[in-house]
A and B are shown apart, each in its own frame.
Chain A
Amino acid sequence: MTATPKNHFNTRWLALPLAAALAITGCSSNNGGNAPTEGGTTEQTGGSAGPTEITLFVDATWYPYQDWTGPIPEAITAATGVRPKISVATDDKQLSLMVSSGDLPDLVLSPNWQLMSDANLSHAFNDLIPEYAPELSFDPIKQLVNTAKDGNYYTIRNDFSTEAEWQAAPHAFPITPGLQVRQDLMEEMGNPEIQTLDDLVGVLQQVKSQYPDMTPLVLNPNWTHPFFSAQFGAVTSGFADQEGQLIHHLRQPELMQSFLFINRLYREGLVTSENFAYKNEVQTQEMMTGGKGFAYTWTSQGADRLNAAVGDSGMTFAELADPLSPDAKIHNSGNGYFGLYVTKSNKHLEETMKLVSYLFSEEGWQTAQWGIEGEHWEMHEEGYPVFNYDNNDEKVMKELGVYWWGVPTETGVGMSLSAYNPGSETTRVGEKYREIVEYNPALGMVNPENDSDEQIIRTNIDNMLRNEITKIYLAPTEEEAVKAYEEIIAKADNIGMEKLEAWANSQYGEYKEQYDGMVN
């Protein structure tokens, strides 16, 4: 009789932790193990003499470095007294969620300039620099292209250089769209000349008859039309400047010509229809490295990357280095990609700005990106780095911790010099295409704000185009392709393309005037 109540007591009190454990398990399984690892807190490690630890969130799931290790990061810490604690995004929405929960780290590296250039989230560089890093200064054009609507600039984005900087660096070339061909097969076919788009079609037809199991041309899903659009001189995204007036890039007759050219390639059986269904460039790269394709659209670095991937398989790739038309033009209106943002949650502004200032200095980014001068690289007398290690070997780079912590503050010229390699395919293309690059950063500044009506129109047009463009590419005749193009324009007009263009023109004049004033 006495045993029963005792047992009841035990069961009852055992049930609570058990139930709690179940509930917690339920919670954690709902998280899917993807709980953000970033912390909003900062710690001072190693007492007063040790480096200050600051948290740095990298808003790029693909970022190759996940921590601050290796001799190069250590050298940066030694120079600045700061040790970033890194966390890399596990999905594309993580930064948005961190912003909405207010749980931001000290520093954010993100391509989302629109989101982070906000006084609620980030400190403005123009406020921080005079107070904490007076030695840091930026070209006025770089300040201009990074200035938000409120007149402040919250970062200086990487990978951007002014036209003057590009002109002053003869060994630096912007990366352009590229087309790679199988060099080994070209030799087998007697090295036919490819100087025009018709020559290209002729060679692809020759491939089709000579190698029937092969797809003559494989289109990278991320680079389907830019190479061809460049040959016709078209702007490939955003707006195009036509004698001072902006039009949506879709309206350019040159762009329509490039779409029709791709349609011609399809109609002649030189690309497959399923190619337009691919979403992942890994799929098409595998087709190329697996020997199933003859030619491939990618960037000007494509041939070097494919050659590295196929190794000693006997396959070799070469770029089509010469532009294929007298109208060919590369429109460069980019304003950069990644920005380093000092967030409003930052508790170590002085130390953070010491790191930021160092990384933006010539010595700082060269150390971060190339290594220690004299030990890892030396400057060639013609102005490009010569490395003492294999700077294409990811394992070697990772051991050194070199390159990827230089990326956040690299300039366009700096990035390009890192890849300069006399005799490489990338360099061969760069030398030819640099002659036809046209710079207009003012065009890249015409960007509607998030959630604005104009932004919604732009997104809707882009979304519509993604789904409808294949109707042009896969039309059975050229007339039907033209009709499909006209229908797309009509749909874009319905969505509000004219309103978007009117808004763009209202913005562009001022930007262009400011930019031209600085250049001239």
Chain B
Amino acid sequence: MKAVTGTSTTQKQGFFQQFKKQLSFQMFVWLGLFFLLLFHYLPMFGIIIAFKDYRISTGIQGIFSSPWAGWKHFEAFFNDYNFNNLVRNTLALSFLKVIFSYPIPILLAILLNEVRNAFFKRFVQTVSYLPHFISWVVVSGIAYTFFSADYGIVNDLLLSTGIINQPLDVLTNPDSFWGFAVSSAIWKEAGWWTIIFLAAITGIDPALHEAAEIDGASRIKRIWYITLPGLKGASIVVLILTIGSILGGGLVGSNFEQAMLFGNPLNSDTSQIIQTYAFNVGLAEGRFSFATAIDLMQSVISVILIFSSNYIAKRVSGSSLF
């Protein structure tokens, strides 16, 4: 018994001593945690208004005092005349983005890694990640200047050179919205995500490449057998995060911004998504309970997706996020 008590006291002392030693680091951690709790976890209690008839004029206490509404707001969303369209557009845009945007940064990182000219490599890298810093509002302005059917540079050029007879309606044609959204998102974000994969490639032991080279392996073989397996860990983490945020557009995000800025009455059949609907019909009209219900539903789907993709990744490849 004595021995046990002694061990426990020593452990306790050890813990405190270690804590004291790490005090300066612990302070950063605890402040970070406090920040996380205060601004990310505490506000979650507001989710209950998704099940209530909340009115903004009742203030914060109204969150608690407003009457319960059950599943009313969820039902209202399911019964919306445009529900099927909204769900189809959200899923289509999200999956298309994941399918097409996920491999591009990996490919770009591998290609850049193979470039021997340092200046060219740096130039391409800088040019490809710079669009990440331009806001979507500015991108939409640029897009209209380029692709507008009435006054866009591209149409002017194609019409004046006789390549086309009718202006291309890229920005107003419902059939071109998804393609335009996916490609513009890749243009904007692919370079940024390439940085992560380039960092992962840097972590690959150069001795492997040297040995392969001596053994006579071609470039393609080295990419296939060394670089790609070396990227597996980073790729899986990024894939899980991508699937977790798939309804927001995944890796390249921006479903909401694109649908809001490039969406218009002409392409609304394909450009209206759940997030813009929640904003237009929920927030802009002051229906906070309704907007919360829609958002909560999306969050639940995202949580399910992140857990299942993590589980599948663990089963298939052995690596996972948690």
Contact = CB atoms under 8 A, between A and B. Distances in A.
B172 interface: yes
Interface stretch (A49-57, A113-121, A294-302, A434-442): A113-121
A231 B286 CA distance: 34
Nearest to B268: A467
Interface string A463-492: 110110110001000000000000000010
Interface stretch (A10-18, A73-81, A188-196): A10-18
Task: Name the interface size band of chain B.
Answer: 35 or more
A93 B31 CA distance: 30
A381 interface: no
B24 interface: yes
A27 interface: yes
Contacts of B189: none
Nearest to A453: B76
B201 to A, nearest CB: 31
Interface stretch (B54-62, B93-101, B249-257): B54-62
Contacts of B35: 23, 26-27
A19 B31 contact: yes
B210 interface: no
Given A277-B171, A277-B265, A460-B81, A15 B24 contact: yes
B56 A12 contact: no
Contact of B266 (A120, A277, A495): A277
A273 B149 CA distance: 9
The majority secondary structure among interface residues of chain A is helix
A100 B283 contact: no
Interface in B183-235: none
Given A19-B27, A93-B283, A274 B265 contact: no
B265 A470 contact: yes
Contacts of A309: none
A274 B59 contact: no
A12 B23 contact: yes
B286 A274 contact: no
A520 interface: no
B54 to A, nearest CB: 8
A495 B56 CA distance: 25
A155 interface: no
Contact of A494 (B25, B81, B149, B171): B81
A273 B265 contact: no
A180 to B, nearest CB: 19
A456 interface: yes
B264 interface: yes
Contacts, number: 109
Given A272-B149, A450-B55, A459-B285, A15 B28 contact: yes
A22 B56 contact: no
B71 interface: no
A20 interface: yes
Contact of B150 (A272, A464, A494): A272
Contacts of B31: 19-20, 22-23
B39 interface: yes
Nearest to B54: A451
Contacts of A278: 264
Nearest to A467: B268
Contact of B56 (A100, A279, A456, A474): A100
B266 A450 contact: no
Contacts of B57: 99-100, 115, 118, 120-121
Interface string B254-272: 0000000000111110001
A463 B149 contact: no
B82 interface: yes
Nearest to B58: A120
A348 interface: no
B286 A100 contact: no
Pick from A92, A101, A272, A491 the residue with the most CB of B within 10 Å.
A272
B272 A274 contact: no
A292 B148 CA distance: 14
22 contacts: A14-B24, A15-B27, A23-B31, A23-B34, A26-B35, A27-B35, A93-B283, A120-B57, A121-B57, A273-B169, A274-B172, A275-B150, A276-B264, A276-B265, A277-B266, A292-B151, A459-B281, A459-B287, A460-B281, A463-B281, A464-B82, A467-B272
Instruction: Across the A-B interface, give the 7 residue pairs with the lowest CB-CB distance, nearest first.
Output: A15-B24, A277-B264, A467-B268, A470-B265, A274-B149, A277-B172, A23-B31
Given A277-B266, A464-B82, A495-B81, 8 more contacts: A19-B31, A22-B28, A100-B57, A272-B150, A274-B150, A276-B266, A460-B80, A467-B82
